[in-house]
Amino acid sequence: MKIHPQEPARLELAQLPTPVVKLKQLADIAGVERVLMKRDDLTGLEISGNKVRKLEYMVAEALEQGADTLVTHGGFQSNHCRATAAIGARLGLRVRMVLRSDDPDPPWDGNLFLDRLFGAEVSYHAADVYRSQLDRLICEVMEQERAAGRRPYFFPVGASVPLGCWGYVRAVAELAEQVGSDQPLDIYCATSSAGTQVGLMLGRALLGCENWRILGVPVSDSVEYFHSELRKLERATVERFQLDLSPEETPIDLVEGFIGPGYAIPYPEAVEAIRLLGSSEGIVLDPSYTSKAMAGMLATVKRQPAERQPLFLHTGGSFGLFACRGLISGEG
């Protein structure tokens, strides 16, 4: 059933609803009454996390257009790419990936190992080439697929385009049924390609959850950059789907200071968050996204009014942890 008249077609791939759990030990350590977690690391497709919600809409459109090949891009430990590879294997679709890696032959570990296990065809490109020539690289892959008689469908990293944002509009409806739309809720999430936070912002406004706040923790760029990117994607989604929403109805809230040295580079507070959640709750965070977002929430939550309920959105990515096991264990 549609959650909104403008909701586009969706292919049901995720195992939903994902649970909301209380983190009692973590709340005691943080010195707050209660901390909730939305376990979107449990969406299925080999623990593909938040990516599956977005890809339900992207792949539905791909199949509607008769595509037989999915083309996407990202870092060589990209959760999004791994989720795309898993979906391709599940549905019998070919998958091509353009991956960013300064190592021309990176070790098969973490998500990259799973990309290959799921049968994706990958190519590696140094970071400077990836940044400056990505459009050309994608066009070459699309042309190769068409020349081979295939029908490729492209979507960018994170599926963070207006269509993909509906994954987290729908997640808001699911969460509202679980915890109630009226309670003063602070939802913390990692922000990188922007689609998850924009979907939450739009869902909050469309579904009447005015007492909720969506607090993104940037993990890959500056707050100034994300204010611009989030608003651009939010406005593009509003325009494409003719949603009657003003920018004032979708406020942007960001928690600053938790990127560390850079994207996918762990730092002490993030490593401590991984160890803390593992030892206190038996929950695995990843070094690129959820550990930094958790560090941001833990540093922020004590400063919030006591009546506001913190909820952490666990977006998955735990396979990326194994590529950094030496650092996390203290041996690297």
Same domain for 40 and 92, yes or no, is: no
**Domain closes at, from 159, 176, 198:** 159
Closest CA to 167 of 293, 320, 319, 313: 313
Q: Tell me: the pLDDT tens digits for 129-138?
A: 999 999 999 9
Which of residues 101, 127, 159 is at a domain's end? 159
Same domain, residue pair 212 and 296: yes
Q: Which of 78, 160, 288, 318 is catalytic?
A: 78
Task: List pLDDT tens digits, range 198-229.
Answer: 999 999 999 999 999 999 999 988 999 999 99
CA separation, residue 151 to residues 20, 62, 67, 94, 148 (Å): 39, 9, 5, 10, 9
Tokens standing for residue 65: 């257009």
Q: 330: pLDDT confidence band, cut at 50, 70 and 90?
A: low
Q: Are residues 140 and 105 in the same domain?
A: yes
Active site residue 280: no
CA angle, 318 then 271 then 296, to 5°: 90
Q: Within this chain, do residues 170 and 29 fall inside the same structural domain, yes or no? A: yes
H/E element holding 216? strand 213-218
214 & 130 share domain? no
302 in the same domain as 263: yes
pLDDT tens profile 70-83: 999 998 888 899 99
Contact 15, 42 (CB under 8 A): yes
Q: Kindly state whether residues 313 and 210 are assigned to the same domain.
A: yes
Q: Which of 129, 159, 189 lies at the terminal end of a domain, its last residue?
A: 159
The pLDDT tens digits for 143-180 are 999 999 999 999 999 899 999 999 999 999 999 999 99
Give the model's pLDDT for residue 242: 98
Q: What percent of the chain has pLDDT above 90?
A: 84
Q: What is the CATH number of the domain that holds 155?
A: 3.40.50.1100
The pLDDT of residue 326: 66
- From CA 270, how far away is CA 272, in angstroms rounded? 5
Helix (H) or strand (E) holding 297: helix 290-300
**Overall number of domains in the chain:** 2
Q: Is pLDDT larger for residue 1 or for residue 21?
A: 21
- According to DSSP, the residues that pair with 72 across neighbouring strands are 97
Domain encompassing residue 307:
20-49+160-329
| Banded model confidence at residue 53, pLDDT cuts 50, 70, 90 | very high
pLDDT at residue 329 in the model: 63
**CA 130 to chain centroid:** 21
Alpha-carbon span 45 to 61, nearest angstrom: 19
Q: Are residues 153 and 169 in the same domain?
A: no
Quote the mean pLDDT of the chain. 94
Write the pLDDT tens digit of every residue in 246-277: 999 999 999 999 999 988 888 999 999 999 99
The pLDDT value given to residue 310:
97
Both 175 and 269 in one domain: the answer is: yes
Residues 199 and 270 in one domain: yes
Q: Are residues 32 and 115 in the same domain?
A: no
Mean pLDDT, range 34-51, rounded to an integer: 91
pLDDT attached to residue 19: 98
In whole angstroms, what is the distance from residue 105 CA to residue 270 CA?
28
Domain match, 26 and 61 both: no
Our measurement of the distance from residue 245's CA atom to the centroid of its chain's CA atoms, rounded to an integer in Å, reads 24
Residue 47 CA to residue 2 CA, distance in Å, equals: 25
